[in-house]
Chains A and B, each alone.
Chain A
């Protein structure tokens, strides 16, 4: 499953990683560019969607432009024996956009659950974090929230060495 893409998939990724063409027949445009049929382009995209190699085809909004100006990375020290169950419950909350278990780095970093929370202001984010704390209860020994104060870089992944 987690293998490198074949040549045509790789060329399709490179051709679309900046975005899908904004023309009436975008798959025809990609097909012309790649020298294959539009049916082949659509079949390749459908196969990558089915395999989870593409999460979805769609728009990625800029949080700030939509008014989600507060962004808190909440981090939690959760009992290892309960992390599977509790991590899944936190991930189901509709204000959590990413939720992962990650390794601790003691003594500097005791936290093993990361949940990203976006809101229109800090008070909203802190209220959401209070709801997570209530859900975790005594299985969480401590937590913190790291608000972002500047975006230093945001380019996304680039395959194909185009920087």
Chain B
């Protein structure tokens, strides 16, 4: 089970790197050098700090963020109402599916909320059926009807 890291000790350059790298990374021969120059540091320093921010999980990843629906796949938010005494067992059953990309415990009667991500639209229904068969609980699926805004940028 993943614990939650506490707030990381970041210095001012770390924060500027995180804020500068949340989008618009150059498609040039030496993109890290270009970004480093904009931040007033060196390419070697930027690469070392990026590696450290990834190693310490301040950043969960650095690279292209794919929009799976535009690649023919599908993302669906789904929820379960899990009896408290079964919570650990149901967590293990749900997390065992590779289609489950994220899973959060939340304070509500629907207390388990997860995202199913599949390469084909049909894969979602199949994953829902497998979760219902494994847990004996009905899955509430909330496919998005309309997207108003998605931007995971958060100021460091």
A residues bordering B, Cβ < 8 Å?
1-5, 13, 16-20, 22-28, 38, 42, 45-46, 48, 51-69, 71, 73, 83-84, 87-88, 90-92, 96-103, 105, 108-109, 114, 118, 144, 146-159, 161, 163
Contact = CB atoms under 8 A, between A and B. Distances in A.
Contacts of A45: 27, 64
Interface in B29-60: 29-33, 43, 47, 50-51, 53-54, 56-60
Given A98-B152, A101-B144, A146-B107, 10 more contacts: A54-B65, A60-B65, A65-B5, A87-B148, A108-B81, A118-B154, A149-B105, A151-B2, A155-B102, A157-B101
Contact of B146 (A67, A71, A87, A150): A87
A93 to B, nearest CB: 9
Which 10 A-B pairs rank lowest in CB-CB distance, beginning with the nearest? A91-B149, A91-B148, A152-B103, A4-B72, A153-B103, A20-B63, A99-B148, A101-B146, A67-B7, A146-B106
Contacts of A108: 81, 109-110, 140
A17 B32 contact: no
Q: How many interface residues does chain B have, given as a range?
A: 35 or more
A67 B10 CA distance: 11
Nearest to B33: A24
A59 B18 contact: yes
Contact of B66 (A55, A65, A101, A105): A55
A128 to B, nearest CB: 13
A59 B35 CA distance: 13
A99 B117 contact: no
Contact of A19 (B54, B119, B153): B54
Given A28-B29, A99-B149, A103-B145, A58 B66 contact: no
A156 B23 CA distance: 18
Interface in B2-17: 2, 4-8, 10, 17
A3 B112 CA distance: 31
B64 A100 contact: no
Contact of B30 (A20, A24, A84): A24
Contact of B43 (A24, A96, A155): A24
Interface of B: 1-2, 4-8, 10, 17-18, 21-25, 27-33, 43, 47, 50-51, 53-54, 56-73, 75, 77, 81, 91, 94-95, 98, 100-110, 112-114, 117, 119, 140, 142-156
B105 A148 contact: yes
A130 to B, nearest CB: 18
A42 to B, nearest CB: 5
A148 B119 contact: no
Contacts of A63: 154
Nearest to B102: A154
22 contacts: A1-B70, A42-B27, A56-B24, A57-B27, A58-B22, A59-B22, A59-B53, A59-B59, A61-B154, A64-B6, A65-B7, A66-B58, A69-B4, A91-B149, A97-B153, A101-B144, A101-B148, A102-B77, A102-B145, A103-B142, A153-B94, A157-B73
